[in-house]
Amino acid sequence: MRLAARGDGVTADGRHFPGAVPGDRIESDGALVEGPNRQAPACRHYGDCGGCQLQHVPDSLLADFARDRVLEPLARAGVAPKDVQATHISPPGARRRAALRATRTDGEVRLGFNAAGEHRIVDLQECPVMHPGLFRLLRPLKALLAPHLGERSAIAVTPTLTDNGVDLLLGNLQANSLPVIEGLNEFSEQHDLARLSIEGPMGIETLATRAAPSVRMGEADVTLPPAAFLQATADGEAALVSAVRSIVGKAKRVADLFSGCGTFSFPLAMKARVTAADGTGPAIRALETAARRSGAAIETQHRDLFRKPLSADELNAFDAVVLDPPRAGAQAQAGQLALSRVPVVAAVSCNPATFARDAEMLAKGGYRLRRLWPVAQFRWSTHVELVAEFRR
C-alpha cells in the first residue's frame, strides 16, 4: 500500500482505497483493516472539509508522501537528483493566508472552505492549520457579512496575516452606500486590521488602512499590494529561502525570475546584486519601492516571462538564477536557461508535474540535478513544494 497523489491508499495492483495508508490491509472481500500507521485527525471537520486530506497520516508518512510526490514525476521524465534532503513539514497553526467563502444556504450563513468534492461550504468551528490570528476573525466576519448575503449568494474572504495585522480582502461585496462603508471601517478599527479592501467588477478598492500591511523579507519591510501572493506560512518560506541561499552561495550577480514581491530577492540582495523580474505589476512595484527604501541592491524588470523570457544571452550575465514560477511552470524560460551558460539554477516549484517537465528540459541542456528539498508547508494536504539545485 502507498499513498497516491490525491491522498488515497493504492495497492500494488492499482486499486484505490480512500482513507487507507501504508500498513493497512485489504481483505479478499475488499474490506479495509487498519494498520499501525495512523493517528487521530486533529479537527472535527476532517473528512467533510476539503482543506485537509491527510490528517490521519503521521508526520513520518507525510514526509515520505511529499518526497515521493516530487520524485515520481521526475523519474518518469528521466531525471534523478543526486541527493534528496529531509522533507520540511510546517507545524500546525502556521497558515498565515487563506481563501475562504461566506454563503447563505437555506437561511444559514456559513464561512469556511469547500466540502470535499462538493460546492457546499463547511462552516468552520475550528481549524488546526490556520494561524490563530486569522481564525479568531471568522466569527465576527460571519456577523459582519450576514446582512450582505442573499440566499445562495457568496462573498470571497481572503485574510492574510502580515507583520502589522490582518490584511483583509472581500470579493463580491457591494459597498456602494455610506452605511455599508462606515460599517466596514468600524469593523476594521474594532479588530485592528492593517487594511480592508473590496474587489468588484472595477477592480480592488481599499476602504480602510490602519497600518501598512508589510512583511519582513531579508533586511526590507515590503508593503504588500492587495491580493498579493505570499508564501502560505512564514515557516515554509524560511525553509524555501534557506535552500535557495544554500544553492546560490557566493554568486555576485543573481537573477530572480517570477520574483513576486521579493521573497528571494531581498535575502539574496544581502550578499549579491539581484535583478528581479515579474509580470505582475503591483508585485514588482512593491518590490521596487521596498528596495529603494531599504537601499537593497536590486534592479527590477516588469516583464511577462511567459511571453518574453530572458534570452540565453541575457542570462549569461548572471552567476546564478532563481526560478519560482506559478503552477503552470516556466517552460519558455526553462528553454532559454537550457541554452545559456548560467552555472547554477535554484528552481522553486509548487507543482511537481510542471517542475518535472521543466527539469527534463534543463537536463537535456546539460544541467544536472544535484540536490532537492521537498517542502510540505500546507500541512495535512496533498499540496507539495520543492527547491532544486541544478548545476552545469
Last residue of a domain, one of 185, 213, 241: 213
Q: Is the pLDDT of residue 28 over 90?
A: no
Indicate if 191 and 236 belong to the same structural domain. no
Indicate if 330 and 248 belong to the same structural domain. yes
Q: Within a domain: residue 58? A: no
Per-residue confidence (pLDDT) for residue 32, from 0 to 100:
87
SS3 339: helix
350 in active site: yes
Taking a C-beta distance cutoff of 8 angstroms, is the pair 16, 4 a contact?
yes
38, with CB counted inside 10 A (0-12, 13-18, 19+), is: middle
Q: Is the pLDDT of residue 341 over 90?
A: yes
Per-residue confidence (pLDDT) for residue 75, from 0 to 100:
97
CATH of the domain at 276: 3.40.50.150
| 110 beta partners | 103
C-alpha cell read off for 81:
537528483
How far apart CA 278 and CA 324 sit, in angstroms, is: 10
Residue 303: DSSP 8-state: -
Indicate if 197 and 287 belong to the same structural domain. no
Query: Tell me: the pLDDT tens digits for 203-222?
Result: 999 999 999 999 999 999 99
Q: Within a domain: residue 322? A: yes
How far apart CA 338 and CA 41 sit, in angstroms, is: 45
Distance between terminal CA atoms of the chain? 38
**Domain boundaries, position 180:** 100-213
Indicate if 87 and 108 belong to the same structural domain. no
The domain tally of the chain equals: 3
Indicate if 82 and 127 belong to the same structural domain. no
Q: Within a domain: residue 205? A: yes
Categorize the per-residue pLDDT at 229 as very low, low, confident or very high, splitting at 50, 70 and 90.
very high
Query: Tell me: the pLDDT tens digits for 110-126?
Result: 999 999 888 899 999 99
Q: What is the CA radius of gyration of the chain?
A: 22
Taking a C-beta distance cutoff of 8 angstroms, is the pair 255, 277 a contact?
yes
Indicate if 371 and 276 belong to the same structural domain. yes
Q: Within a domain: residue 318? A: yes
Indicate if 324 and 380 belong to the same structural domain. yes
Q: Within a domain: residue 221? A: no
Q: Within a domain: residue 300? A: yes
Indicate if 179 and 291 belong to the same structural domain. no
Taking a C-beta distance cutoff of 8 angstroms, is the pair 184, 147 a contact?
no
Instruction: Please count the residues of the chain.
Output: 392
Query: What backbone torsions phi and psi does residue 129 show, to the nearest 5 degrees?
Result: -95, -25
How far apart CA 99 and CA 342 sit, in angstroms, is: 38
For CA atoms 152, 127, 95, 196, the dihedral sign is positive
Percent of all residues in the chain with a pLDDT value above 70, rounded to a whole number: 100
The active-site residue out of 43, 49, 261, 350 is 350
Q: Within a domain: residue 57? A: no
Taking a C-beta distance cutoff of 8 angstroms, is the pair 20, 7 a contact?
no
How far apart CA 365 and CA 123 sit, in angstroms, is: 50
Indicate if 315 and 185 belong to the same structural domain. no
Indicate if 78 and 26 belong to the same structural domain. no
Q: Is the pLDDT of residue 336 over 90?
A: yes
Q: Within a domain: residue 53? A: no
Q: Across residues 341-366, what is the average pLDDT?
A: 98
CATH of the domain at 134: 2.40.50.1070
Neighbours of 242 (CB within 10 A): 14
SS3 347: strand
Query: Tell me: the pLDDT tens digits for 233-249?
Result: 999 999 999 999 999 99
Indicate if 292 and 369 belong to the same structural domain. yes
Of the CA atoms within 13 Å of residue 315, those in its CB half-sphere come to 25
Per-residue confidence (pLDDT) for residue 59, from 0 to 100:
96
Neighbours of 135 (CB within 10 A): 18
DSSP per-residue string spanning 205-260:
EEEEESS--EEEETTEEEEPPTT----SBHHHHHHHHHHHHHHHTT-SEEEEET-T
Indicate if 9 and 107 belong to the same structural domain. no
Neighbours of 382 (CB within 10 A): 18
C-alpha cell read off for 357:
517537465
